[in-house]
Amino acid sequence: MTSIHDLATPALLVDSGALDHNLAVMTEALPGERLRPHVKATKCTALARSQAARGHRGFTCATIREMEGMAAAGLGEDLLLANEVLDAARLGALDARVTVAIDSPETIAAAVRGGVREVLIDVNVGLPRCGCAPERAGALGDAARKAGLEVRGVMGYEGHVVGLEDATERAKRCRESMALLLAAHADVGGDVVSAGGTGTYACNTVGTEIQAGSYSLMDTAYAKLGLPFVQALSVWSTVVSVSEKYAVADCGLKSLGMDHGNPDVEGAAVWFCSDEHLTFAPEQPVSVGDRIRVLPAHVDPTVAYHERLHLVSGDEVVDVWEIDLRGW
């Protein structure tokens, strides 16, 4: 048996009990088709199989590579690329049910050229990213149908809301965003209203399906919201240098997603991260060679930096899952 102490660091650890807890809690809250797990958070078909085994047969993807990997793994029953793309030919060639988000005449044309048959109208519900203005959704839906596409419905992501720490404010602003999406849906039609994320999975009652992904592994940003999910993911690291007031571990910007801030280390204050180093001030003395668990602030980019997940129970590595959906 492999121990976590035998692993080269930095390495991603996933507490198997915590993962099972998170999957079970979400399955109870959003059973079956109510949840369309977003694989961008984990980029791992083995983890997706665990979600499918719990009844979640449709998946959300962020990249063409994720779509291809899911289809190749036999998980292509209902794949949504919740992103605009112009090279859709790779999607049309997949042995899978493929739906792609569109928000412009150009992305409609790309879907047609690529042999994609089904689309969702992507609506901007407040996050300044992709998506058409709500009042333009109906016309885009008509144009897509005229071009020969099946319009399944609408999608919109309240990404500017999902991380708000005040639960009341988060729910209020989620309702405001979903009012925009419902107005667009009234003009577009279709059976699907796809929305949401881990931070709004419980308060978004409008979506026919919720695109949550981070809930399975979690990070410190979402941990601040008081959600019923626990931290399953950590970066296993080695202390490589010790000074009088601080210590340094061998993980840094190239192994941690930092856009949501510094990671956490239990019993220590994190000072900063550089390319390959994490500088922290421990409450109790540490020695060179000690191992520490570093909790990332943003799970998605953290996972994408690594090649595999080590599932652990205590100090024992019980399985290794490849992060096989990386790249584009």
Structural domain boundaries in the chain: 2-12+229-322, 17-216
- Res 1: pLDDT: 83
Question: Do the domains spanning 2-12+229-322 and 17-216 agree at the CATH topology level?
Answer: no
Put residue 83 in one of left, alpha, beta given phi > 0 → left and psi -120 to 50 → alpha.
beta
Whole-number Å distance between alpha carbons of 266 and 269: 8
Q: Would you call 226 exposed, middle or buried from its count of C-beta atoms within 10 A (0-12, 13-18, 19+)?
A: exposed
The CATH code of domain 2-12+229-322 reads 2.40.37.20
Q: Which CATH architecture has domain 17-216?
A: Alpha-Beta Barrel (3.20)
pLDDT at residue 3 in the model: 97
User: Could you state, in chain order, the average pLDDT of each consecutive group of 10 residues for the chain (328 residues)?
Assistant: 96 98 98 98 98 98 98 98 96 97 98 98 98 98 98 98 97 98 98 98 97 98 98 98 97 97 98 98 98 98 98 98 96
Residue 237 near residue 10 (C-beta atoms within 8 A): yes
Distance between CA atoms of 175 and 169, rounded to whole angstroms? Answer: 10
Q: What is the pLDDT of residue 154?
A: 98
